[in-house]
Amino acid sequence: MSQHRFRIMRDGKLISVLAGWDRPLQQVFCMIESELPRPENLEEMGEAEQEAFWEAYEEAHEYLFDNLLTPLPHVDAIGEALAKHGLPCPQGFLTQIEADRLINAGNRLVNYGLLEVAVLPPIATL
């Protein structure tokens, strides 16, 4: 399976995108999830503070898109899913996933990092 990842901060939440080519299933995939960012000093926090954070984290975490619920017939459908949620597509993201499909790539990880975006529209509801 090839994996292409990137993240974006929006409304105090971290939006994570994972997409790529699933070689065993012979199909593209995409998952978009929203979660609270972990504080850098999480390990230094007291037990009660850590517990409060993890409770808030669980409550805030949600899958915005999962191709297991909405099958993706082709690579362009990944771009459509991103657009539906007002998310940018990193340069080369879809092209690289299509290349992975064409050569039946596996065991490939591409991390586009945390994208810097000035203003993003609100998250679309499903």
- Say how far apart CA 16 and CA 37 lie, in whole Å: 10
Predicted local distance difference test score (pLDDT) of residue 2: 96
List the chain domain ranges: 2-38+45-114
pTM higher than the cut 0.85? no
Averages of pLDDT over each 10 residues, the chain, 126 residues? 94 92 94 89 90 89 89 92 92 95 94 74 48
- Residue 40 to residues 5, 43, 50, Cα–Cα distance (Å): 21, 8, 12
Which residue, among 84, 88, 91, has the nearest Cα to 123 in the 3D structure?
A: 84
